[in-house]
Amino acid sequence: MSYILQTSHLSKTIDGKQLVTDVNIHVKKGEVYGFLGPNGAGKTTVMKMLTNLWKPTSGTVALFGKALEKTSYEVLKRMGSIIEFPTFYDHMSGKDNLQLHCEYMGYYNKGSVEEALQMLGLSDAADKPAGSYSLGMKQRLGIARAILCKPELVILDEPTNGLDPAGMKQIRDLFRMLCTEYGMTLMISSHLLPEIESIADTVGVIHHGKMMKEISMKEIAETNTAYIELAVEDTKKAAYVLAEKMQLSNFKIVNDSGIRIYEQGVTTQKISRELMANDVEIASISQHTETLEDYFLKITSEVGKSC
């Protein structure tokens, strides 16, 4: 398969410190690729290399099927991005900042500035100085600038930073629309799992500078399994009963009092009966379906709720 964006063994070392190692990314045309990882995982570092802001220590980046080089200006023209925080000429209006960007990019399409401002809900603030914008408005103006010249690929580092929940939803809907109606491909980083879950077609999980997993949401939905969550006084004793008395093998002790049983075909009633018969005190027992969060917890035990 050919990818619109692909990295191969991408690594970056600064002052002897390995920021990211052997990162392999595969982004398909027309999809939203969610780049998920906790703070400090290496998302920005990777995105800086994808946009030629940083040179990789080793490994390669291919954009639109061509290797990214120092002089890949034509390739970079087909992209829009926000890396870290967007910056503007504060004394100029939001509208003039966008107009200037069009001129800089050599993009002369009448009405594109007004359209981008309108898409991001900034029409009323268009003539106000960018310096007077709130954090959320600056983020919106940054997204407006990234999509202004109708790029084929948009790379956005934590694009919903500073937005309230309603604003986040609005931006998510916009991203989906950019894919379906404009055929754009989006790569979006976030440390928030629910955000990625609600928008991405494919998810790449980065942790401690390494790619832990790259998987489509469809595959995750297909592999999601049901399980029984058990809370007991004595997990060791309960595990003994499950393994030796009931011959179950597919279960996991998840904490001091919790056991998760993935075995199919066994009921909560049967487990309760057997545990009670063997004097194991049960605090609770319930049936669950594995969520995306559970799935990622399985990939890396340290990736918690904020990722």
Binding site for ligand ATP (CB under 6 A): 14, 17, 19, 37, 39-45, 191
Please state the closest distance from residue 139 (CB atom) to ligand ATP, in A: 14
Q: Give 45 or 51: the residue with its C-beta nearer to ligand ATP.
A: 45
Q: Give 42 or 80: the residue with its C-beta nearer to ligand ATP.
A: 42
Please state the closest distance from residue 42 (CB atom) to ligand ATP, in A: 4
Please state the closest distance from residue 307 (CB atom) to ligand ATP, in A: 9
Q: Give 93 or 300: the residue with its C-beta nearer to ligand ATP.
A: 300
Please state the closest distance from residue 48 (CB atom) to ligand ATP, in A: 8
Q: Give 17 or 305: the residue with its C-beta nearer to ligand ATP.
A: 17
Q: Give 84 or 279: the residue with its C-beta nearer to ligand ATP.
A: 84
Q: Give 13 or 99: the residue with its C-beta nearer to ligand ATP.
A: 13
The sign one gets for the Cα dihedral 117, 119, 124, 128 is: negative
Q: How many angstroms separate the CA atoms of 125 and 237, rounded?
A: 65
Please state the closest distance from residue 41 (CB atom) to ligand ATP, in A: 4
Please state the closest distance from residue 255 (CB atom) to ligand ATP, in A: 27
Distance in angstroms between the alpha carbons of the first and the last residue of the chain: 29
Q: Give 19 or 179: the residue with its C-beta nearer to ligand ATP.
A: 19
Please state the closest distance from residue 195 (CB atom) to ligand ATP, in A: 12
* Complete DSSP assignment for the chain: ---SEEEEEEEEEETTEEEEEEE--EE-TT-EEEEE--TTSSHHHHHHHHTTSS--SEEEEEETTEE--TT-HHHHHTEEEE-SS----TTSBHHHHHHHHHHHHT---TTHHHHHHHHTT-GGGTTSBGGGS-HHHHHHHHHHHHHTT--SEEEEESTTTT--HHHHHHHHHHHHHHHHHH--EEEEEES-HHHHHHH-SEEEEEETTEEEEEEEHHHHHHH--EEEEEEES-HHHHHHIIIIIS---SEEE-SSSEEEE--TT--HHHHHHHHHHTT--EEEEEEEE--HHHHHHHH-TT--TT-
